[in-house]
């Protein structure tokens, strides 16, 4: 089937620790994958994306890893801060102008 | 550069009514997509427009429709509202390529009573 899913609905992390958010996908035809962050009362905010011909991509404090063999995507956040508390979505784009979203992981940062 | 704007931000309607939501894309963006977000179904794609043409459509009933104007602004309409239409409706804009990054607006919170 065509779906993008996250392994865990919630993640609690200590401030300063690293966070890892996982996502599994089932469509091998996907062109690229995107991570979005959604804070309460706001729309999803683009974090980082990765093309299907890449394995890793780094941004500011974030790294996305793509394992096409097991159809797995992860977002790593370094030195997690209180402002990182939000719902994180992975999304899949098959090059057809639409995004297919996973269910989301709620990240809570403990002080 | 201003982001995606959506109006109104909040809306309360009753069953059977219709509603029109508006979206203004980022300047220079020609593609506008609409998504519905609910706690139960998550984020689901409604439709996408480019140069006033619908290029893709999700699995929603015909009560959901949209259009795009020559200035790339878009509207979506929901007729004969049902309680289940209560949701956050999100608009996203992009340059228009099939895999271009989509940037989202803050959404319109629709409550159907």
Please provide the DSSP assignment of A20-82 as one string. Answer: EEEEEE--TT--EEEEEEE-TTS--EEEEEEETT-SEEE-SSEEEEEETTTTEEEEEESS--G
Distance from CA of A35 to the nearest CA of B (A): 11
Query: Residue B3, SS3?
Result: coil
Q: Chain B residue closest to A5 (CA)?
A: B42
pLDDT tens for each residue of B52-103: 999 999 999 999 999 999 999 999 999 999 999 999 999 999 999 988 999 9
Coil, strand or helix at B60: coil
Choose from B102, B107, B109 for mutation: most chain A CBs within 10 A. Answer: B102
| Whole-number pLDDT of residue A95 | 84
- Contact criterion met (CB below 8 Å) for B4 and B105: yes
Tokens of B23: 């979206």
Are the beta carbons of B61 and B78 closer than 8 angstroms? no
Which residues in chain A show pLDDT less than 50?
1-3
Q: Which of A1, A97, A101, A102 to mutate to test the interface with B (most CBs of B within 10 A)?
A: A97
The more confidently predicted of residues A78 and B1 is A78
Q: Looking at residue A2, what is its pLDDT?
A: 36
Give residue-wise pLDDT tens across range B7-37: 999 999 999 999 999 999 999 999 999 999 9
User: Which residue from B30, B85, B23, B36 is spatially nearest to B55, judged by alpha carbons?
Assistant: B30
């Amino acid at each position: 089937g065509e779906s993008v899913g996250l392994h865990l609905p919630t993640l609690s992390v200590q401030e300063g620790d690293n966070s890892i958010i996982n996502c599994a996908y089932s469509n091998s035809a996907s062109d690229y994958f995107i991570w979005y962050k959604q804070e309460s009362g706001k729309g999803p905010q683009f974090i980082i994306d990765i093309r299907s011909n890449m394995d890793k991509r780094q941004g500011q404090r974030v790294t996305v890893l793509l394992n096409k063999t097991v159809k797995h995507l992860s977002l790593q956040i370094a030195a997690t801060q209180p402002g990182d508390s939000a719902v994180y979505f992975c999304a899949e784009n098959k090059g057809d102008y639409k995004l297919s979203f996973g269910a989301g992981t709620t990240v809570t940062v403990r002080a | 550069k201003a982001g995606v704007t959506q109006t109104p931000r909040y809306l309360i309607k009753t069953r059977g009514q219709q509603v029109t939501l508006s979206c203004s894309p980022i300047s220079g963006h020609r593609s506008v997509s609409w998504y519905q977000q609910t706690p139960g179904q998550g984020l689901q794609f409604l439709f996408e427009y480019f140069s006033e043409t619908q290029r893709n459509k999700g699995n929603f009933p015909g009560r959901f429709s949209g259009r795009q104007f020559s200035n790339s602004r878009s509207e979506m309409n929901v007729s004969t509202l049902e309680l289940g239409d209560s949701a956050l409706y999100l608009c996203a804009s992009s340059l228009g390529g099939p895999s271009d990054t989509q940037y989202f607006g803050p959404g319109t919170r629709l409550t159907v009573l």
